[in-house]
Amino acid sequence: MTIEEIVEQALGNGYLTPTMEAEVGRICDNAAELSVEEYQALDRLMGALLTGQVVAVPRKQFINVMEELVLTESISRVSQIEASSNKTLDLGDIAAYALNRLPPLYATTEEGATYQRQRAKEELLALIVEQVDAAISRNLDQPEFFPERRAIADALGKKGVLDQVSSLLQAYAPGFEEPVQAN
């Protein structure tokens, strides 16, 4: 899509999605110079955003606490197995397998997330552990077919498991780790 098409769509719908915003940013980053029409379209979009004719949809207004809990359990179990054996496990496959078999626990506020975490620890911890264990067993028993498969993060240029975990935490648990401030 072009900038002009994105702006027309935003004006027609009355909202600018994060995907539309990212596409405009990508076009602007990759262009050596924007055309007069592109600048005019961006100016129209800015005016519409300022007057409220177009509303920017926030990136995320909710989190799935279950993702955080499954990732924590998966990282713990995978690191134990990898430290005590020569096996290499796919953290993404393990987490996805377990998440597909567990109920989501969405929250829109920090209080709601705290409630969901507590509820999960009281009522669902055994099920979370069971599903992560099943995912690990399946991952260990899986033959190495399709060696040309690439993880989503690899396709996006990410570096490794730590970057994936960091990105997931930043996306799903903003404020989980507060930045360290120098004195």
Rounded to the nearest integer, the mean pLDDT of the chain is 83
Rounded-to-integer distance, Cα 52 and Cα 49, Å: 5
Rounded-to-integer distance, Cα 21 and Cα 105, Å: 28
Q: 145 or 51, which is more confident?
A: 51
Average pLDDT over residues 75-84: 89
DSSP 8-class letter at 101: T
DSSP 74-117: HHHHHHHHHHHSS----HHHHHHHHHTTS---EESSHHHHHHHH
Average pLDDT over residues 49-58: 87
Instruction: Output the pTM of the full model.
Output: 0.55
DSSP 8-class letter at 59: S
Please report, for the chain, the start and end positions of each structural domain, with discontinuous segments joined by +: 3-56, 63-172
pLDDT for the residue 98: 97
